[in-house]
Amino acid sequence: MAEAAAEIDQALEVLIPPPDGPEAKLFEAMRYATIGGGKRLRGFMVLEGARQFGVARDAALRTAAAIEMLHAYSLVHDDLPCMDDDELRRGKPTVHKAFDEATAVLAGDALQANAFYVLSEADTHADPGVRAELCRGLARAAGPRGMCGGQMLDMLAEEAGEPLEEAEIGRLQLLKTGKLIEFAAEAGAILGKAPPQLRHAFAAYGRDVGAAFQIADDLLDATASAEETGKRTGKDAAAGKATLVGLLGIPRAQAQAERLAAQAAGHLDALGERADLLRALARYAIARRS
């Protein structure tokens, strides 16, 4: 994963060039938000998925970088004072703290646009059908029936102050983080023009890893320190936020994350040993300490 993260960082360096001209501040903020941070879980999934189908490394890296841009934009906006109001992200000040609020809004907006720009460019794939499909998949994962819808549910739940039921929490998290992870897992199969049943297998893998990852995130929030995770912890309980950990308790939530990780790995049975790294990723998602 560290190797993949370094390669993705190199791709981001090229795709968000160092600033020149009077609008330098915008490019600086975009680079600050994306380069040199994060686990690159989503990007790693793209690269490993694409490897199963012999996709050219450059195409896979551009796609991975685009999805990481989209993810980074969502973090920048989620951290805004009017949203979760966070000051620490990936071990450094959030974008609106390091720059200012207007720049954070704009950098997020520009990262979203740039993600689509990268996916739609001919350099990413010679087949325009693949490029259109990538744009469609990213747009669906990012829009009101994906990430934005999930963040809305999250804000509303916090406002209402009433505990959500297990199914509601599941839906919230599927939208907020699951859809993009699902797309990251599927993107390699799209790039490789895989048959529908394999595409669906990768999507199902992504969905389960995403759900397991989210529970693990909530477990870390409940049990780890800010030094370990690089972001403020204990904030879910403090905010009365609806999580499966809060609802089920730590041991049952842990068991469910393990069940989901095993189920994720099972979706890739047809691929044999080639998919071992993706199976390992499902285990890592729940074993990590940051």
Which residues of this chain interact with its own copies, rule CB under 8 A? 16, 22-23, 25-27, 30, 77, 80, 82-83, 100-103, 105-106, 108-110, 112-114, 116-117, 119-121, 127-129, 131-133, 135-136, 138-140, 142-144, 146-149, 151-153, 155-156, 168, 175
Measured on CA atoms in the order 92, 95, 101, 103, is the torsion positive or negative? positive
In the bound complex, what is the minimum distance in angstroms from residue 289's beta carbon to its own copies? 31
- Output 53 or 116, the one with its CB closest to its own copies: 116
Cβ neighbors of 153 (< 8 A, separation 6 or more) are 168, 171, 172, 175, 176
Cβ neighbors of 33 (< 8 A, separation 6 or more) are 72, 73, 75, 76, 95, 107, 108, 111
Strand partners, 93: 88
Residue 161: half-sphere exposure toward Cβ, Cα within 13 Å: 1
In the bound complex, what is the minimum distance in angstroms from residue 166's beta carbon to its own copies? 15
In the bound complex, what is the minimum distance in angstroms from residue 189's beta carbon to its own copies? 17
In the bound complex, what is the minimum distance in angstroms from residue 97's beta carbon to its own copies? 13
Query: What spatial distance separates the first Cα and last Cα of the chain, rounded to whole Å?
Result: 14
- Output 165 or 228, the one with its CB closest to its own copies: 165
- Output 151 or 233, the one with its CB closest to its own copies: 151
Residue labelled with tokens 């904030």: 235
- Output 6 or 83, the one with its CB closest to its own copies: 83
- Output 52 or 114, the one with its CB closest to its own copies: 114
Please tell me the distance from the alpha carbon of residue 216 to that of residue 225, in angstroms, as a whole number. 14
Cα–Cα nearest to 244, from 289, 212, 200: 212
- Output 155 or 224, the one with its CB closest to its own copies: 155
